[in-house]
Structure 1
Amino acid sequence: MFARVPLAVRSWPAWWRARPPSVKDGALAATLTALAFVPTLSVIGAQLGDLPRRPADALAVVLTVAQSAPLALRSRHPAACLAVIGAAFAVHQALGCPPTFASIGFYLALFTAGAHQARHRRTLAAAVSAGYAALAVVLSWWGSANRISDFLAFYLVLAVIWMAGAVLRRWRAEEAERRRLGALAAGAEERARIARELHDVVTHHVTAIVVQADAAQFLVGTAPERAGQGLAAIGDTGRRALTELRHLLGVLEATGDDALTQRTPGLDNLADLVEQARVSGQPVELTEHGERLPQPVDVELAAYRVVQEALTNAIKHATGRPTRVTVHHRAGHLDIEVTTDGSAPLEGPAVPSGGRGLDGLRRRIQMLNGELSAGARPGGGFSVRALIPLRSTA
C-alpha cells in the first residue's frame, strides 16, 4: 500500500509556480546569502586569482552579501544585478578575500542577463568582457599564478553560461510566437466554424421559406386552402430557424449549460429534417440500415449537417425532384448518401447560392478524418456521400 500524500504537500509545487518572479528571486537571494556563511560550503566558491588571502573582515562580509543579495532584482533589472554582482566579484577576487559560496551569484546573474536582458545585449556582453579582461590584468599584475590559458578557460565558462541564458531566451521567444500563431489559427478556425454553422442553419431554413412562399403565391388564386397550409409551413420553418439560431448563439456564449449539448441536432433529428423538406414540396424518402449507436456530439452534428446541406441544395436546384436519404450504420463508420433524380431543375424562381456550403461541409468531415464526395450521377441527378468514422462515447 502506498501512503497518501497530504494535500498541502501535493499543492505546494503548484503554489510555488504561481508566485510572482519577485518572490522567487527574493527567496533565491536570501537562500544563497544564508548558505554563503556556512563554512563547509566555502570550498565551492569560485577562486580566480589565487592571491594571498586576507582575513575575513567586515569588507569581506560586505562583498559576500553584494554577490548574492542583488539576485532579488535579477528578473526585473538583470543588467543592474549583473553589474553590482560582477563588481563585487571582481573586488573580492582582487583583494584575495576568503572563498565564498556567494560567488555562485555571479554565474546566476550572468545566466539571468543572457535570458532576460531585452535591450543593449551586445553592449552588456562587451562591458562584461572588458571588465573581465581588466580583472585578469589586475590579478596578473598583483602576482596571480594563473596563466593566460587559465583566464581564457574561465572566460569560456562564462561565455557558455551567457549563451545558455540566450538559448533559453530564444526558446521562450519561439514558444511565445508559436502560441501566438496557434491562437491566431484557433481564432481563424473558430470563425470558420461559426460561419459554417450560420451557413448551414440560415441557408437551409431561408431556402425552405423562399420555396414555400413562392409556392403559396402561385396557389393563392387557385387553391386558397393549400396556400394557407403553405403560409403555416412558412411560420413553422421560421420558428425552427429562430430556435436553432438561439441554440447556436447559446453555444457561442459558452455558458457551459449541458442542455445546449443535448439540443444539438443529430441522427435522431433526421426524420424531422426530412419532414421539413417534404413540407417545402420536396419528395424525400429516408432509409436507415444497421443498428444506430450513440456517438459524440461532433459526429452526430456532422451527419445531420450532411443531410441538411444535401436537402438544401436539392430544394434550391432540383425543386420537386425525388430525393433519397440513405444512412448505413456500419461497423466502423457511418455511410450517408443523399441522391436527387433528374438532369435539370424544374421551372421556378431561382434561389441564390453562395457556393460555400459543400466546401465548409467537406472541411467539417475532414476534421473527423472522414470523406465527402459530391457530384453529378451518371444517369442524371446529383449525389452527396459522406463517410464518417465512428467513435465510442464510453
Structure 2
Amino acid sequence: MIDLRGLPELWRRSDVVVRDLPLALLLVVASLVPALHSRGTQLGDLPSRPFDELTGVVLALECLPLVVRRRLPALCLGLVALGFAIDQLRFYHTVAGMALPIALLSAGLHLGRHRRTTVAVATVGYVVLAVALHRHGSTEGVIGFGTFYLALAFAWGVGSWLRMSRAAEADHRRHVAERTRAAERTRIARELHDVVTHHVTAMVVQAEAARYLTAVPKRLDESLTAITDTGRRAVGDLRHLLDLLNPDHGTGARTSADGDTGPNGSVGALYSLASLVEQTRQGGQPVEFTQQGRPPEVAGSAEAAAYRVVQESLTNALKHDHGGRTVVQVRYDVREVTVEVHTDGTGSSAASPGGSGRGLAGLRERVGALGGKFSAGRRPGGGFVVRARIPAGDPS
C-alpha cells in the first residue's frame, strides 16, 4: 500500500516548477470548458469570437509560463503578457486572462533585478495594447483602461509588499542570529576566563612557592601534588564546558577532577565551594569559609553565578593579596543567594598572569542578567571586598 501520510512532505520538498504546474494546467482546463467561454477578462468591451485553431496556442502562451513564475519571473511575465495581448486582440476573452495578475504578483515578489525596467516595459506594452484595442473600436475610454491598469498595478504592488515583508523578516532573523552568536561568544569567553584564569593563577602561585621548598622535600612534594590536582581540576572544568557546548559529545554522569561525582548540574560535581576553597588554600592563601543554609541538590543559574563570584574573588586574592587573610561567606535561602568575599590587604602581589579586567565586568553582567546586585571595590582598611545578591531562580 502507498503511504499517503508522507505525500504532503514530499510535495513540499518537490521543485517549485512541479508545484506551480497544477495552477497552469487548471487555468488551461478552465478555459476549455464550454460554459466558461467568453467569461474571462474582456478588455476594451469588444464582442467575443468563437475559439479557432489559434486558441490552443494562445492558452498555452498565457498559462504554461506560470510553471516558472518563481524561478524565472521576468520570462513568465513577458510570455503571459504576450499571450494576454493576443487573447484580447483576437477577442477570445478566455478565463486564461487571470494568468496576467498572477504573473504580475509573482514578478513583484520574486523578481530581483531590473524591477523598474520591468515596470516601464510592462506599462509601455499596456499602452500599446490599449491603443490597438481603441483602433479596433473599443469604447472603454481612458477611464476604463486606466482602471484596469490600476488593478494590474495593485497585483504588482501586492507582490512587492510581500517581497519587502519577507526581506524584513529575513533581516530580523539574521540580526537575531547575530545577537545570539555574539551573546554565546561572550558567554563562552566568560566561562573560559573564569575556568582558566582561576586554575592557571593557582598553578603559577603554587609553582612559584615550590621554588623555595627544595630544601624541604615533604613540603615540596605537597606543593607539586597541589599543582597536579589543580591541573586536573582545570581539565575537568574545561571538559565540562566543552560538554555544554557539544551536548551530544558527553552525556550522563561525569566524574569531576576533584573526585566528586554526580549527574550534570549537581552542586557536588560542578559547584563545590568547599573544593574551590581547599584548592585556594593549597595555593598558600589562608581562606576562612562560612556557608549558611543548604544549597539545592540541582544547581541553577543563581548557584552557578555564586560559584563564579567566589572563584573570581579567590583568583584576585591569589593575584593581588597573596598570603593575606581571606574570608568567604555564602548564604542560601529561599529567595536569594548572598556572597561576600574580602581580604585584609596584608598579603603581597603574586607572580601571576596579568589581568584583562574581564573577570569583574563579566560577574557584574552575569549577576545583573539574573536580576541581582553586584559590587566590588577596595576596603577602607586595606584589601578588597566583593558582594553579590542573586535571586534564587531565573528572572521571568
What is the TM-score of this pair, normalised by structure 2? Answer: 0.87
Match of 1:200 in 2: 194
Deviation at 1:117, TM superposition (A): 1.0
Change (3 A) 1:385 1:182: same
Distance 2:64 2:16 in 1: 15
1:104 equivalent to 2:98? Answer: yes
Of 318-327 and 284-293, more deviation after overlay is shown by: 284-293
**Alpha-carbon contact 1:282-1:321 (below 8 Å) kept:** yes
Distance 2:333 2:243 in 1: 33
**Alpha-carbon contact 1:250-1:260 (below 8 Å) kept:** no
Match of 2:382 in 1: 380
1:79 equivalent to 2:82? Answer: no
1:343-362 equivalences under 5 Å are: 345-346=347-348, 348-349=350-351, 351-362=353-364
1:48 equivalent to 2:43? Answer: yes
Distance 1:80 1:74 in 2: 8
Change (3 A) 1:131 1:219: same
Write out the 4+ residue segments of structure 1 that deviate beyond 6 Å after TM superposition: none
Match of 1:258 in 2: 251
**Equivalent position to 2:52, from 57, 67, 80:** 57
Of 63-72 and 107-116, more deviation after overlay is shown by: 63-72
Change (3 A) 1:383 1:56: same
**Equivalent position to 2:329, from 316, 321, 326:** 326
3-state SS of 1:150 partner: helix
Deviation at 1:49, TM superposition (A): 1.9
Change (3 A) 1:160 1:273: same
**Alpha-carbon contact 2:318-2:350 (below 8 Å) kept:** no
1:89 equivalent to 2:91? Answer: no
Deviations 1:169-225 (A, max 9, x none): 22222333333333333332222222222211111111111111122222323x332
Distance 1:31 1:336 in 2: 72
**Equivalent position to 1:280, from 279, 283, 296:** 283
Match of 1:66 in 2: 61
Distance 1:13 1:302 in 2: 48
**Equivalent position to 2:138, from 140, 144, 155:** 144
Deviations 1:138-162 (A, max 9, x none): 1111111212011111111111211
Deviation at 1:369, TM superposition (A): 3.5
Change (3 A) 1:134 1:296: farther
Identity %: 46
Change (3 A) 1:304 1:62: same
Structure 2: runs of 5 or more not aligned? 255-262
Distance 1:98 1:368 in 2: 68
Residue type of the partner of 1:25? D
Deviation at 1:256, TM superposition (A): 5.3
Change (3 A) 1:31 1:377: farther
Match of 2:259 in 1: none
Match of 1:4 in 2: none
Of 90-99 and 327-336, more deviation after overlay is shown by: 327-336
1:123-134 equivalences under 5 Å are: 123-134=117-128
Match of 2:173 in 1: 179
1:13-24 equivalences under 5 Å are: 16-24=11-19
**Alpha-carbon contact 1:295-1:390 (below 8 Å) kept:** no
**Alpha-carbon contact 2:266-2:298 (below 8 Å) kept:** no
3-state SS of 1:258 partner: coil
Residue type of the partner of 1:68? C
Match of 2:219 in 1: 226
Structure 1: runs of 5 or more not aligned? 1-6
RMSD between aligned residues: 2.7
Change (3 A) 1:90 1:248: same
**Alpha-carbon contact 1:287-1:326 (below 8 Å) kept:** yes
